[in-house]
Amino acid sequence: MRLHQLVSDVARHTPEALAVHAWDGRLTYGELDALADRYSAALAARGVRPGDRVLLWAGKSTHAVALMQGCLRRGAVYVPVTESNPPVRAARIGRGCGAALTVTDAGGAVRAAGAEWNAGPLATLEELLTEETGAPSAPADGSPDDPAYILYTSGSTGEPKGVCLSHRNALAFVTWACELLDLGPRDRLANHAPFNFDLSVFDLYAAFHAGASVFLISQEMAYAPEQLVRFLRRHELTVWYSVPSALSLMMSKGGLFDEVPPPALRVCLFAGEPFPLPLVQQLRAQWPGVRMFNWYGPTETNVCTSYEVTPAVVRRSTAVPIGTVCSGDSMTLAPQDREGEHELLISGPTVMLGYWGQEPHTGPYATGDIVRVGEDGNLELIGRRDHLVKVRGQRVELGEVESVLGAHPGVEDAAVVVVGSGLEAALHAVVTKTCPESSVSLLGLKEWSAQRLPPYMILDALHVVDELPRTGNGKKDRRRMVQDITTGRTMM
């Protein structure tokens, strides 16, 4: 079984069932199946071959979903990049994965032209359909272990890092999730996450696996709490999956609890970052009839542990656990310096093929997350082993942000730290200047970063210092920086 077969199978049996709802319209399974075939034929006409990478740099839409399906049918590997990424970064990813073609929307085409696009051929979704020639060919032969998509994440060296995942990787998680949640054709799933974020894999492919429908939430609406609450109720969604930050906003500013619980909602899932215990307890109490799960897993494994949040959570005084291993995976706990603490290593069918351009991954995947085993046998997340952080649910490698800031002509050295947690988490840059006369300002560095980084990786605050604090072995002392910032000892 491969991912594109999910839609084809449903289309054969219930072609009139709703598959995708988005700002640009609705597609039944029959319509999605036909449109995916058209895109597959158009890709073939453009010379895209099995194994080629196709960069999708566009907003969420029915056509974007159909293009992804078309890539899979062609045997190509799709590489989603959100439309908010500046042309410089999108092109960087395109060159990094050797994209045979970049597909964008009309707005992206204008932005690419203005930036003198230098990452190979580029076409819009509309152009592909206009240029389509010939009848759609049969889906390309292939194996479930072939790469299906590449999700680019922030890289520690300053280069975005492509996590390459196979059909089998995705289906191992999706099949497990559908069984756990008893998903069926009547379900209506929200798609809150962007397509380059691994949460979206569940939204799309669990819906297609179950013959259900998925409702795409635009990037503009993603953190508009009142609109999200209206969306949840208006479309009678049965399954909600998002980062805790979105749910927190809906609770505090969206009026989530102003009315009775959404009658259709039966499952609420959250992942991507810790959910503060008091908020989980409030949500659990307000929605007694809704099943809730805290899911955990890096992009390299998708969801590999699961914890069902039952009414017993009201008696907890510590953070919500990440649960026990799932999706057919297994785990190894590597002891750390402090007794009872372990780094979590994951093995099994959801573990990635590897990073694009590097050797295939072998053996367990070291998550970099430190856990302990609670008295009830559930894993409890303690923190990170390295400097990869989560800000409002988005994965940010501090090294990539520092690399961009360090390239500014006025910056001699830079360190980036996270101050605060949850919705209050913010990226603070601590920099030294190349010379006293150098012009370095928060606004200037924001503008500089906006040309090179996605919006969620742009700094929130700037601190200019004479010298970066360092540890005894010469490394940047991030803990000291956070202390200095929170106590007001740094210079703004």
**What CATH number is attached to the domain comprising 405?**
3.30.300.30
| Domain identity same for 414 and 278 | no
pLDDT confidence band for 86 (50 / 70 / 90):
very high
Claim to verify: residue 168 and residue 256 sit in the same structural domain: yes
The conformation of residue 217, written as its DSSP 8-state character, comes to P
Q: Does the pLDDT of residue 489 top 80, yes or no?
A: no
Region 458-464: what's the mean pLDDT?
94
Structural domain includes residue 218: yes
Any domain includes 341: no
Q: Looking at the structure, do residues 402 and 286 belong to the same domain, yes or no?
A: no
Answer whether residue 358 is part of any domain.
no
What pLDDT score does 397 carry? 75
Q: What is the predicted pLDDT for the residue at 422?
A: 74
Nearest to 212 by CA among 242, 243, 235: 235
Question: Domain boundary at 296, 314, 332, which?
Answer: 314
Stronger pLDDT, 135 or 118, i.e. the higher one: 118
pLDDT band at 189 (very low <50, low <70, confident <90, very high): very high
Task: Give the mean model confidence (pLDDT) for residues 336-352.
Answer: 93
Residue 404 has pLDDT above 90, yes or no: no
Average pLDDT of span 377-381: 94
Query: Alpha-carbon dihedral of residues 108, 109, 110, 112, nearest 10 degrees?
Result: 80
The angle subtended at Cα 76 by Cα 70 and Cα 79, nearest 5°, is 90
Q: Can you give the pLDDT at residue 475?
A: 64
d(CA 212, CA 362): 35
One domain for residues 20 and 122: yes
Structure confidence at residue 490 (pLDDT): 61
Judge whether 356 lies within some domain: no
Is residue 357 in a domain? no
Domain boundary among 314, 346, 381: 314
pLDDT of residue 492: 47
For 433, 456, 460, the CA distances from 449, given in Å and listed in that order, are 17, 11, 11
Last residue of a domain, one of 314, 348, 381: 314
Residue 109's CB is within 10 A of a number of other CB atoms, namely: 20
Average pLDDT (462-472) is 83
Quick one: tokens of 123? 């076409």
**pLDDT more than 90, % of the chain:** 72
Nearest alpha-carbon partner for 194 in 330, 363, 58, 42: 58
Question: For 29-38, 46-55, 446-455, which range has the lowest pLDDT when averaged over its residues?
Answer: 446-455
Q: Is the pLDDT of residue 473 over 60?
A: no
H helical segments located in 46-131: 62-74, 87-97, 106-114, 125-131
Instruction: Let me know if residue 375 belongs to a domain.
Output: no
Q: Which two tokens stand for residue 145?
A: 């272990």
Boundaries of domain holding 45: 4-314
Nearest to 196 by CA among 96, 63, 102, 60: 60
Q: Is 300 in the same domain as 444?
A: no
Dihedral class, residue 33 (left if φ above 0, else alpha if ψ from -120 to 50, else beta): alpha
Listed in sequence order, the residues at least 6 apart from 259 whose beta carbon sits closer than 8 Å to its beta carbon are: 233
Phi (first) and psi of residue 368, to 5 degrees: 80, 0
Which pLDDT score is estimated for 320? 92
Residue 470 has pLDDT above 80, yes or no: no
| Amino acid identity at 480 | R
* Range 329-334 average pLDDT: 97
pLDDT (average), residues 155-165:
80
Lookup: tokens for 421:
């947690």
Domain membership flag for residue 321 = no
Residue 143 and residue 227 share a domain: yes
468 pLDDT tier (thresholds 50, 70, 90): confident
360 Cβ neighbours under 8 A, 6+ residues apart: 353, 354
User: Under DSSP, is residue 460 helix (H, G, I), strand (E, B) or coil?
Assistant: coil
pLDDT at position 472 over 60: no
Q: Which tokens in the block code for residue 255?
A: 């009026």
Percentage of the residues of the chain whose pLDDT score is greater than 70: 96
Mean pLDDT, residues 40-52: 95
HSE-CB at 365 with a 13 A cutoff on CA atoms is 23
- The DSSP bridge partners found for residue 308 are 293
On whether both 59 and 177 belong to a single domain, the answer is yes
**Separation CA 98–CA 274 (nearest Å):** 35
Residue 157: pLDDT above 80? no
User: Which secondary structure element, helix H or strand E, spans residue 209, and what is its range?
Assistant: helix 207-210
Q: What's the CATH number where 54 sits?
A: 3.40.50.12780
Query: Does the pLDDT of residue 474 top 60, yes or no?
Result: no
- Structural domains in the chain (count): 2
Between these two residues, 471 and 432, which has the higher pLDDT value? 432
Alpha-carbon distance 351 to 164, whole Å? 10
Residue 178 corresponds to which tokens in the numbers above?
Answer: 């559908």
Place of tokens 């150098």: 438
Q: Are strands 18-22 and 213-216 parallel, antiparallel or unpaired?
A: parallel
pLDDT reading at 137 higher than 80: no
Tell me the per-residue pLDDT of 233-284, one tens digit each, with 9 for 90 and over: 999 999 999 998 899 999 999 999 999 999 999 999 999 888 888 899 999 9
The reply to whether 466 falls in a domain is yes
Average pLDDT, the chain: 92
- If you average pLDDT over residues 89-94, what whole number do you get? 94
Return the amino acid letter for 21. Answer: H
> Looking at residue 414, what is its pLDDT?
87
**Whether residues 148 and 276 fall in one domain:** yes
Helix, strand or coil for residue 136? coil
Indicate whether 306 and 416 sit together in one domain: no
158 and 265 in one domain?
A: yes
- Residue with the larger pLDDT of the pair 70 and 223: 70
Overall average pLDDT of the 389-399 stretch: 78
